[in-house]
Amino acid sequence: MRALVVGPGAEGRFAEVPEPEPGPGQALVEVRQASVNFSDLRHMGRLPEGTVLGYDAAGVVLRAAEDGTGPREGARVAAFGAGAWAERAAFDTGSIAVVPDGVDLVRAAALPMAGLTALRSLRAAGPAPGSRVLVTGASGAVGRLAVQLARRAGAHVIASVSRPERAARLASGLGAAVDVAVGRDGVEPVDVAVGLDGVEPVDVVIETVGGPALVAAWALL
């Protein structure tokens, strides 16, 4: 089968690779869609040549797990696991979720890594209804999901973005109002920390930017 692998010089290339051999607790998935995360590219040079790349995928279960766990054959799923950028991949059933009817597989493929990052961060912080949650980099993949999950948990959300146009897209895309803090444009990189001036103290910070934004966010806790 074809897959996107680490090639010479730590660059991605298509190659023929052996078919995956699922373990007892794994399902074989025909990958229809896959998504790219920053870490996929950042860490490519650390992987041995020939390693199948990628972690996020969506597709259809070709063979259910032998131990009876996980979705049935033919189910539409989103999956998270190493080696996702291939025509077929084996995933642990605990890392597979059935995609609801009406949800496109293209959208589902973008959820696993970003969604798990946002969800686990919020679970670790434990925001309670009425608590104040600051999300920096709120227009990014992890940030957008963290904003939505925090609001569903009943938190008051302050979304920090770098530019006004990103604030507008965030508000229109979420379809609900959140407090938005906008950074100062005109400098490189955009000074996101400036946008946090005047923000009242918060109970939780989901910080995805780093640098001065991290320092400013820390001071608000």
What tens digit of pLDDT does each residue of 73-122 get?
999 999 999 999 999 999 999 999 999 999 999 999 999 999 999 999 99
Domains 2-110 and 114-220 share a fold: no
Domain spanning 114-220, CATH class: alpha beta
| CA atoms within 13 A of residue 65's CA, in its CB half-sphere | 17
Residue type, 71: P
Tell me what pLDDT residue 188 has. Answer: 44
Structure-model confidence comparison of residues 60 and 179, the more confident one: 60
Write out the H or E segment, with its range, that includes residue 170. helix 164-174
Nearest to residue 98, comparing CAs of 126, 79, 80?
Answer: 79
Structure tokens, 103: 């949800």
**Length of the chain measured in residues:** 221
Structure-model confidence comparison of residues 151 and 57, the more confident one: 57
Structure-model confidence comparison of residues 189 and 133, the more confident one: 133
Q: How confident is the model at residue 187 (pLDDT cuts 50, 70, 90)?
A: very low
Q: How confident is the model at residue 31 (pLDDT cuts 50, 70, 90)?
A: very high
CA–chain centroid gap for 116, Å, is: 6
Segment 181-190 mean pLDDT: 56
Average pLDDT, the chain: 88
Residue 173, pLDDT above cutoff 70: no
- Computed from CA positions of residues 69, 75, 78, 80, in that sequence, does the dihedral angle turn out positive or negative? positive
Tell me what pLDDT residue 19 has. Answer: 96
Segment 143-154 mean pLDDT: 91
134, 204 contact by CB (below 8 A): yes
Among 57-66, 84-93, 186-195, the least confident range: 186-195
Tell me what pLDDT residue 76 has. Answer: 98
Structure-model confidence comparison of residues 24 and 185, the more confident one: 24
Measured CA to CA, the distance from residue 180 to residue 160 in angstroms comes to 6
Q: How confident is the model at residue 166 (pLDDT cuts 50, 70, 90)?
A: confident
Q: Where along the chain do its domains lie?
A: 2-110, 114-220
36, 63 contact by CB (below 8 A): no
- Give the Cα-Cα-Cα angle 128, 133, 136 (nearest 5 degrees): 150
* CATH number 3.90.180.10 is the correct assignment for the domain at 2-110: yes
Q: How confident is the model at residue 134 (pLDDT cuts 50, 70, 90)?
A: very high
Torsion angle in degrees (nearest 10) through CA of 174, 203, 206, 163: 60
